[in-house]
A and B are shown apart, each in its own frame.
Chain A
Amino acid sequence: MRPGERLRGLVPARGLGPVRGLRAARGLVVAALGAALGAVLLAALLAGCGPRDRPDDLLVVYSAGPRGLAEAVTEAFAEEHGVRVEFFAATTGQVMARLEAERHRPRADVVVFASRVAADALKEAGRLRSYPNPHGVDRTRRSWHDPDGYFHATSAAWVGMAIREAAWDPEAHAELEWSDVFLGRFPGRVTLPGPSRSGAAGDFIVARTLDLGEPAWDEYREARRAGLDISAANSQAIGGLLVGAYDVIVGAVDYLILARIEDGAPIRFHAPPSGAALVERPVAILDHTPVPELAEAFVDFYLSPEMQARVAAVHLIPVHLDVPPSEIRARHIPVEPRAIPVDPAEALAEQTRILRRFQLQVERAEVIR
């Protein structure tokens, strides 16, 4: 045996076997029949049985980041109520995807999003359960909640720009606008967290597109042509900024930037004069939940001053009026920026179309440079 033969045996044999011509071909065609046969057999085998019952001391929470905060809150809740919490942390997009995949076999009881629009979409689809009066809701910013009580903001953040100090020119950039960046002020040095992953970036794109109308699309395309890079998620964008691969993140969520600034990173947060997007982070109860009381208790718990203090600690804006924002936030974003005006009804109606179009024409499009 030659040495090569021995080695060859160990190469993944991705071969389809010898070409056995038409006989095997006919076999494959018949395989379709076989597949159907298998399907019928299995369906017959399993028909009629629904999902299993769940213990009533288990709460399933799907939460968008920050992971640390979500973990802390669920752990504290589990401890205080003596229950178990199953917990899935991901981006808003991933959480939405999982909910969709599980539409016919629901598992989650409570979801936390980093996007109001996502919660609106679920509400519209009739998949949320109303909880009109959480405990202590009076001491929170009521305007951030759903008027019908289908979801409640736990916190909020501003979506603006993050810029490397090295690239920041206080004079020239004080009035820096979205359009400046999109239209090529920092060619090849700009990134945007992918709206299909990052709920905050998604909300920002929806808000800006509705605000500007059709010209927004020209801007996005122009930005891609000027080398706008779409990052997978916020942390990848921030990583790139810290390393120096980018100078600017458009659609940066402030609390993540503030956390890095606290660590001493030479970056800053900038809200353009025309407005930044305010992104609430709603918590919602799914309508099929077998443990509604537990789910409601979780919402109450999230809105309590103790948990709101934890929210503030990660530099988010707490929804509770008695809990002050973190010191870094107070220092770096002393005055609330102007908010890009959004009509919630319009946002809800248009968001899927906008995000899909953004994916196809900007995010994953082949751009002719």
Chain B
Amino acid sequence: MKRSRWPILLALVFLGGLVGYPLAFLLLQSVFPELPAGRLDGFMDAWVRMGETPEIGRLIRNSLAWAGATTGVSWILGIPCGWLLARTDLPGKLWVRLSLLVPIMTPPYIAALSWILVMQAGGFGDLLTGGIPEPLRGFFFSFWGVTLVMALSSFGYVALAVEAALSELPRRFEDAAELLGSSWRRTFVRIVLPLLLPAILNSGLLVFLDALSNFGVPAVLGTRSNLPLLPAEIFFLVTSWPVDIALATSLSSLLCLFALVSLYGSRWLGHVFGGGAVEAGPVRVQRLSGMARRASWAFVGVLFVFSSGLPWAAMVLTSLARSWGEGWPALTLAHYGEIFTPGSRGLGAIWTSLWLSVTAATFCVVVGSWIAWVNVRSSGWLRQVLEGMATLPRVIPKIVMAVALILAWNAPWVALDIYNTAAMLLLAYVAIYITDSLNYANATLRGMGENLEHAAGILGAGRVTVYRRIVLPRLKPALVAAWITTFIVCMRELVASLMLLPPGTDTTATFIFNQFEQGDLSAAMAMATVTIGISTLVLVVFTLRRRSSPGTGSR
């Protein structure tokens, strides 16, 4: 059966317009700064300027070192957690897993803000302990402090990935080594670690890319902690004065380059040192002694306190604080009242975020699953292009995507006036997050034979019918998960929202950030609490519904 080519072409045009066109334009403009004006002068101007500014070299080194350190710390914190979950008889694992999810649910910039509240002079830390030692404060507002804040909000990914890999890594590999006389340590280093490498590298890559492109944490903590980083620089180059869009585009291109290099680097490492896919089997479970059990709980507990407990407490308390000054603040619900006052900026921000996130998530899931289907059921070089283009948004830093979208949709030849409207933000959300839906759908589709579809095709069902009646229902559980994921990440998306926001509109994230910049931390934290509350609510509702509806819950 020869397939028609138009679905894959359509998918290509869609992704090309959404992702390819802005990025191509960004790359071109970094080389030809006057491109939008239709001139080719100033060739490589910005790159030259970049080379001539020593501070930029410092920025780049800082960014790489910081992202690397964050990844390292996440590994140090996450791998033991993963091991405890997968390979020990630690009681209360459900709670441990939840305690890993909570920091993932907390946007890093909110965690960073909360940490400022804890650590700043006269903050909660001082109130609780009667004065944090200055060296500790100094440590917090430094490279390693900022690293720790970021790592605390991302080690959960490492832990969950390592747990997944470890709980499928059959014990015979370890038994075989141990029978040959290998010590526990040697077995771990020579056998377990290399087999875990794909999981470690993949999760590390995510953390690294996230840190490399993270704007919120350095924007909140960077200046104070004396840690200038690349994404913040790009942001300021584009959004504050003196504006230097050309330099921003070349820095963005550089950031892209780093991202791609780390992607291929980690794939290469995994290929060379890892063992490829391993068939799952029964695993070895370590019995913990009472002592070890207590120590493990202490480890997890301390991590939870630092990653969630303390920041959340600071967040909620601040959102309830009447006034700031000496000692514990008096409590009030006034800040929530302000947010929920009809017609207020806060309520407007919540509505904007909600409808944007719902629309973006729905769009991503619908279009993403369709593209994934087209991709899985086609072959040839067009498919490779499609696959590559679909991977791009996940790798390209969000801030770069935002800059690219600004340029692309502000170009003089664009007929649609969507810059300066909320549609621009919608476009950005879809462009940035469609890969998640694609991945979720892909995973299910790959495991699902084509025969089911052929069976329907033989009965005379058309393409659309096959998709709607056969493919979609099978995909449903994956799509629900993709929808929730996309919804949650859109609700908290900061940097693209800040840059693409039309005048006078706020999302919850920009509201929080603006209130922080205006110095109104109570309002910022009230909104942060509301946002996290909404995300958690959506998560819980869907989880409960999924649990109660049999047949769709198994994945």
Report which A residues bind B (CB closer than 8 A): 1, 3-19, 21, 23-39, 41-43, 46-52, 62, 86-94, 96-97, 100-105, 107, 118, 194, 196-197, 199, 202, 229-233, 235-240, 242-245, 351-352, 355-356, 359-361, 363-367, 369
A-B contact count (CB 8 A): 288
Distance (whole angstroms) from the CB of B82 to the closest CB of chain A: 11
Please tell me if B534 contacts chain A, counting CB pairs below 8 Å.
no
Compute how far the CA of A233 lies from the CA of B517 in the bound complex, rounded to whole angstroms: 6
Total interface residues in chain B, CB < 8 Å? 115
CB-based closest 9 A-B pairs: A38-B16, A239-B519, A31-B388, A88-B503, A35-B20, A38-B20, A49-B415, A93-B240, A27-B388
What residues of chain B lie closer than 8 Å to A3, measured between beta carbons? 93-94, 97
What residues of chain B lie closer than 8 Å to A15, measured between beta carbons? 202, 206, 439
Q: Are A229 and B224 in contact (CB under 8 A)?
A: yes
Interface flags, B529-553, vs A, CB<8A=1, else 0: 0000000000100110011000001
Question: Given the interface contacts A6-B547, A36-B24, A96-B243, does A196 sit within 8 Å of B489 by beta carbon?
Answer: no
Compute how far the CA of A35 lies from the CA of B521 in the bound complex, rounded to whole angstroms: 42
29 interchain pairs, CB-CB under 8 A: A1-B554, A3-B94, A5-B555, A6-B553, A7-B97, A10-B481, A14-B394, A27-B387, A30-B388, A34-B15, A34-B389, A38-B16, A39-B25, A41-B16, A93-B239, A93-B241, A100-B243, A101-B406, A197-B240, A230-B223, A231-B519, A235-B517, A236-B517, A239-B521, A243-B122, A243-B324, A244-B324, A364-B222, A364-B236
Besides the known contacts A10-B485, A236-B518, 18 further A-B residue pairs in the complex with CB atoms under 8 A apart: A4-B85, A4-B97, A7-B97, A11-B104, A27-B391, A35-B16, A35-B24, A37-B12, A38-B19, A39-B20, A91-B240, A93-B239, A93-B240, A100-B245, A101-B243, A235-B519, A244-B122, A366-B228
Compute how far the CA of A244 lies from the CA of B121 in the bound complex, rounded to whole angstroms: 9
Please tell me if B411 contacts chain A, counting CB pairs below 8 Å.
yes
What residues of chain A lie closer than 8 Å to B467, measured between beta carbons? none
Compute how far the CA of A16 lies from the CA of B262 in the bound complex, rounded to whole angstroms: 12
Q: Are A34 and B20 in contact (CB under 8 A)?
A: yes
Q: In terms of DSSP, what is the predominant structure of the interface of chain B?
A: helix
Compute how far the CA of A27 lies from the CA of B383 in the bound complex, rounded to whole angstroms: 8
Compute how far the CA of A43 lies from the CA of B56 in the bound complex, rounded to whole angstroms: 33
Interface flags, B187-198, vs A, CB<8A=1, else 0: 000000000001
Report which B residues bind A (CB closer than 8 A): 12-13, 15-17, 19-21, 23-25, 36-37, 53, 55-56, 58, 62, 85, 93-94, 97-98, 101, 104, 120-122, 156-157, 160, 163-164, 198, 202, 205-206, 210, 222-224, 226-228, 232-233, 236, 238-245, 260, 263-264, 267, 270-271, 277, 324-325, 381, 383-389, 391-392, 394-395, 406, 410-417, 419-420, 436, 439-440, 442-443, 477, 481-482, 484-485, 488-489, 503-504, 516-521, 539, 542-543, 546-547, 553-555
Distance (whole angstroms) from the CB of B104 to the closest CB of chain A: 6
Q: Are B17 and A41 in contact (CB under 8 A)?
A: yes
Compute how far the CA of A8 lies from the CA of B98 in the bound complex, rounded to whole angstroms: 10
Compute how far the CA of A87 lies from the CA of B503 in the bound complex, rounded to whole angstroms: 7
Which of A6, A11, A94, A107 lies at the interface centre, i.e. has the most chain B CB atoms within 10 A of its CB?
Answer: A11
Question: Given the interface contacts A17-B439, A355-B242, does A29 sit within 8 Å of B24 by beta carbon?
Answer: no
Distance (whole angstroms) from the CB of B238 to the closest CB of chain A: 6
Q: Are B24 and A13 in contact (CB under 8 A)?
A: no
Question: Given the interface contacts A6-B543, A14-B394, does A104 sit within 8 Å of B21 by beta carbon?
Answer: no
What residues of chain B lie closer than 8 Å to A102, measured between beta carbons? 410, 419
Compute how far the CA of A194 lies from the CA of B183 in the bound complex, rounded to whole angstroms: 58
Compute how far the CA of A27 lies from the CA of B389 in the bound complex, rounded to whole angstroms: 8
Compute how far the CA of A123 lies from the CA of B486 in the bound complex, rounded to whole angstroms: 45
What residues of chain B lie closer than 8 Å to A352, measured between beta carbons? 242
Q: Are B517 and A232 in contact (CB under 8 A)?
A: yes
Distance (whole angstroms) from the CB of A47 to the closest CB of chain B: 5
Q: Are B264 and A25 in contact (CB under 8 A)?
A: yes
What residues of chain A lie closer than 8 Å to B58, measured between beta carbons? 366
Compute how far the CA of A87 lies from the CA of B394 in the bound complex, rounded to whole angstroms: 35
Compute how far the CA of A237 lies from the CA of B443 in the bound complex, rounded to whole angstroms: 50
Q: Are A46 and B414 in contact (CB under 8 A)?
A: yes
Q: Are A8 and B553 in contact (CB under 8 A)?
A: no
Compute how far the CA of A23 lies from the CA of B539 in the bound complex, rounded to whole angstroms: 35
What residues of chain B lie closer than 8 Å to A35, measured between beta carbons? 16, 19-21, 23-24, 389, 392
Q: Select B412's contact among A12, A13, A104, A360, beta carbons within 8 Å.
A: A104
Q: Are A27 and B503 in contact (CB under 8 A)?
A: no
Compute how far the CA of A237 lies from the CA of B389 in the bound complex, rounded to whole angstroms: 44
Q: Are B20 and A13 in contact (CB under 8 A)?
A: no
Closest to A24 in B: B387
Q: Are B241 and A92 in contact (CB under 8 A)?
A: yes
